[in-house]
Amino acid sequence: MNKLTFLGKKIRGYPSSPDEASLETFVNKYSKRDYWITFHCPEFTSICPETAQPDFGTITIRYIPDKKCLEAKSLKLYLFSFRSVGIFNEDAVNKILDAVIKASSPRRAEVSGEFRPRGGISITVRATYPNLTSPQD
């Protein structure tokens, strides 16, 4: 655990973009077993790249870890870094999934984003790894 740089520390500055943020991991003690870990972020915010209007949504990350697990505080800071970024909802969900895969090399992962209505339409985006579909709607 000594390689975790965020856990237990007060953070005064936040990354200004996901490219500046980093996801940290720790060793999965139960790597011989399949089990799901779920993170639920009901306060996700980003900016529409076309209108500059804020997008509010809920991001849910589910994954089966292999050798590494994601550390929650670094994930919180990573998700926070989207707040001033102009990005489409579809791109945000896929970028988050790519970051989860890169950081932890999970056996399976799924990121879904349920975005609040703007103009009377809400959007739900779900991306999976490996490329599987999971029709839960």
Domain segments of the chain: what residues? 35-129
pLDDT above 70 for 55: yes
Q: What are residue 44's DSSP bridge partners? A: 57
Each residue's pLDDT tens digit, 66-97? 999 999 999 999 999 999 999 999 999 999 99
pLDDT above 80 for 133: no
CA distance 25 to 40: 18
Percent of the chain, pLDDT > 70? 87
CA distance 34 to 1: 22
Contacts of 65 (CB under 8 A, 6+ apart): 28, 31, 35, 37, 104, 106, 107
The residues annotated with a catalytic role in the active site are 48, 55
pLDDT above 60 for 119: yes
As a whole number, mean pLDDT of residues 126-131 equals 93
pLDDT above 90 for 30: yes
Please tell us whether the domain made up of 35-129 is placed in CATH 3.30.1130.10.
yes
Q: What pLDDT does residue 45 have?
A: 97
pLDDT above 80 for 7: no
pLDDT above 90 for 111: yes
As a whole number, mean pLDDT of residues 38-43 equals 98
pTM of the model: 0.87
pLDDT above 70 for 5: no
Q: Give the pLDDT band of residue 137 (cuts 50, 70, 90).
A: very low
